[in-house]
Amino acid sequence: MKLIDRRSIGVRFWLYFSGMAIFILVLLWLLQIVFINSFYQTIKIRQTEEIGRTVSASFGTPNFEGTVLRESFRQNASVQVYNEEGILVFPLNPLDYIFQPMVDKGDFERYFRPLTQENTKEFTYVSPYEGTENSAILYVTYLGEEAGHKFYLSVSSILDPVDSTVEILKNQLVIISIISLILAFVLSYFLSRRLAKPLSNMAKTARQLGRGDYDVTFDTRGYTEVHDLAQTLNYATGELTKTIELRKDLIANVSHDLKTPLTLIKSYGEMIRDISGDLPELRERHIQTILEEADYLTGFVNDLLDLSRVESGISALELEEVDLEALTRETLSRFAHLEEEGYEFVIHLKGSPMAICDASKIRQVIYNFISNGVNYSHNQKRLDIHITEEEDGVALSVQDYGIGISQEHLEGIWERYYRASANYKRSDVGTGLGLSICKNILELHGFPYGVNSVEGEGSTFYFVATKANPQ
């Protein structure tokens, strides 16, 4: 039997919902049973005081007597007006005119006299009613003077016992509590399962993903939050799948780039040992090939290290004022051997070439743009390099007239070994990591960059460097 996981959202929701239902019932019992007497007394006192204040406010007006009678009948309270001698002056019935009812002198001194002696406008008293279990509320206030006489107001009402009412409420609350608790436990159980089910399904799908099944799809049906989470996880799954594929391609391509020169080095070494050892001219050619392949391996490893440093953010920029034209000509010196093969590199300068950048890193970008153009120029052995001062910076572009790039591949070319997905072959110049290094360097500088290309007509790679301040 599976143990209940107390930390699961379903169990927690069930406990919280049930706890809230129990809390509400306890609060209801306290208000309706335990504190009902004090609540009832507080409300009754407030009503009695409101009657007295309403009547007091109308003293001295033509409708004063009507207000007294109306409030007395409306609130079922005794409202009486006494003079300074304690004699009842209103309301009076016919017999009252003969017997002149009045307040006991001791009671008058106790309840009414302090109103004028202590300069207090009103008092409210609560005391047991003689001979019964009830209590009485007495509100007294000083109304004021009229025709040389002082008048006082008393409002009294009875606090009826609520024991019978409490007993009825107890019986009702017992039934309500039982029904409420059953409904709360059952409803919270089903609601918690319904709430937790999408998350449980998502956890199962995530476990499948963890086992290497990258074709899984997270169910986006359900609540808005679950929908958003599922969409995010689906996006993450897609990106993870791309990363896995890129890693496979990267390993395959790195292996290819390492294996080819190592094979050539070994083969030419064996040829020197077995064939050309005693033939100086042939031996020299074989040794040159070995040196070229060793240089390629060194450049490849250096590019991997550069890419790692830039991507990890540990390669800091050393900004300075740089002449992009001079930097480009210096970089082109590394392609001098290609000029002997018929390649033509033409620099077009417009405006000032002065920019603020890290010279060594931008040299890498220019070199990789040129080497990329060489690799894809094929028979069109001409590259035009434009350096143009613009309003918002200095733009440098390298234009080739080779095979171009299809629109669907334009965004992906900045990734490592992107072209490996289709007939990967070793570059004529460079290591195949150049554009990825360019992307990271230019983003580290914060320079805009991109490529414009037409398939079959050629490509133009460019970036816009920060312009140096004029002298």
User: Which pLDDT does position 426 carry in this prediction?
Assistant: 46
What average pLDDT does the chain have? Answer: 79
Q: Say whether pLDDT at 207 is over 70.
A: yes
Q: Say whether pLDDT at 309 is over 70.
A: no
Name the residue among 334, 308, 303 with its Cα closest to residue 433. 303
User: What long-range pairs does 33-40 form, CB within 8 A, spacing at least 24?
Assistant: 33/166, 33/169, 33/170, 33/173, 36/162, 36/165, 36/166, 36/169, 37/162, 40/159, 40/162
Give the model's confidence band at 227: pLDDT under 50 very low, under 70 low, under 90 confident, else very high. confident
Which of 28-42, 61-75, 203-217, 270-284 comes out lowest in average pLDDT? 28-42
Sheet hosting strand 149-159, strand order edge to edge: 88-90, 78-83, 149-159, 135-146, 122-128
User: Which pLDDT does position 421 carry in this prediction?
Assistant: 41
Whole-angstrom Cα distance, residue 176 to residue 171?
A: 9
CB count in 10 Å sphere of residue 167: 11
Name the residue among 412, 415, 400 with its Cα closest to residue 456. 400
Tens-digit pLDDT profile for residues 312-369: 555 677 899 999 999 999 988 888 878 888 889 999 999 999 999 989 889 888 988 9
Tens-digit pLDDT profile for residues 50-95: 988 888 888 888 888 888 888 888 878 888 888 888 888 887 766 5
